Chains A and B, each alone.
Chain A
Amino acid sequence: EVQLVESGGGLVQPGGSLRLSCAASGFTFGTYSMNWVRQAPGKGLEWVSYIGGRGDTMHYADSVKGRFTISRDNAKSSIFLQMNNLRAEDTAIYYCARHYAHDYWGQGTLVTVSS
Chain B
Amino acid sequence: EMTLTQSPAFMLATPGDKVNISCKVSQDIDDDMNWFRQKPGEAPVFIIQEATTLVPGIPPRFSGSGYGTDFTLTINNIESEDAAYYFCLQHDNFPYSFGQGTKLEIK
Contacts and interface: CB of A to CB of B under 8 A. Distances in A.
Contacts of B97: 47
Contacts of A44: 85, 87, 98-101
Interface residues of B, number: 23
B95 A45 contact: no
A104 interface: yes
Interface stretch (A14-22, A74-82, A95-103): A95-103
A50 B96 contact: yes
Interface string B54-88: 01000000000000000000000000000001010
B43 A47 contact: no
Contacts of A59: 94-96
A45 B95 CA distance: 13
B36 A102 contact: yes
A62 B95 contact: yes
Interface in A27-71: 35, 37, 44-47, 50, 59-62
Contacts of B49: 101, 103
B43 A108 contact: yes
A106 interface: yes
Given A44-B98, A44-B101, A59-B94, A105 B44 contact: yes
A107 interface: yes
A45 B43 contact: no
Interface of A: 35, 37, 44-47, 50, 59-62, 95, 97, 100-108
16 contacts: A44-B85, A44-B99, A44-B100, A45-B44, A45-B89, A45-B98, A45-B101, A47-B97, A50-B94, A59-B95, A60-B95, A101-B46, A102-B36, A103-B55, A105-B45, A107-B42
